[in-house]
Amino acid sequence: MDLYSAQRIAEAEAARTGLGTGPNRRLRLTLIIGMPLFLPVLGIMILVPKSMMNTVLYVYEAGIIGCLLHYVWVFVKYPRHAGRPPYLTRDLAMGGGFFLPSMFFGFWAGMIAAPLWALFVGVAYAVEERREHRGRR
C-alpha cells in the first residue's frame, strides 16, 4: 500500500466517524451550529423587548440562508460525486435538516429550500450514477 492509499483510507475513516476533515468537517459544523441554534434564539426572543423580537428572528433566518448557501458553495466546489471526498454526498444531503428549525419559526424560504436541497443532491447523485452505469456497458 502506498502513502496516497493509506492517506485516503485514513481520510475516509475520519470522514465516517466524528467531524471528519476538510469540507466534511465544515458542513457538519455548519449543521451542528446552525440547526440547534433555534433553541437559544427562542430564549433570546423571549427575553428581548417585543420591538426587537422580529430583528432576532430575521438574523436567525439570515443565518439559515447563509448555512444553505454554504452547502451550495461546497457542492459547486465538488460537483462530481467521483471527485468528492468520502461521505461528502451524505453530508451535502444533510442540508435538508434545516427544514425543522425553519418550520419551527415559520420561515417559508427555509421550509422550501432545505428539502429541495436534499432532493437536488439525491437526484444529482442518481443521475451521475446512471451515467456512469451506462458508460460501463
Read off the pLDDT of residues 2-17 as tens digits, 9 standing for 90 and up.
777 777 777 666 656 6
**Three-state secondary structure along the chain?**
CCHHHHHHHHHHHHHHCCCCCHHHHHHHHHHHHHCCCHHHHHHHHHHCCHHHHHHHHHHHHHHHHHHHHHHHHHHHHCCCHHHCCCCHHHHHHHHHHHHHHHHHHCCHHHHHHHHHHHHHHHHHHHHHHHHHHHHHC
- The whole-chain average pLDDT of the chain stands at 87
Per-residue pLDDT at 131 exceeds 90: no
Per-residue pLDDT at 123 exceeds 70: yes
Quote the percentage of the chain above a pLDDT of 70.
Answer: 93
What is the average per-residue pLDDT within 48-67?
93
Quote the pLDDT of residue 5.
Answer: 76
Read off the pLDDT of residues 69-94 as tens digits, 9 standing for 90 and up.
999 999 999 988 888 888 888 889 99
Read off the pLDDT of residues 18-35 as tens digits, 9 standing for 90 and up.
677 788 888 888 988 888
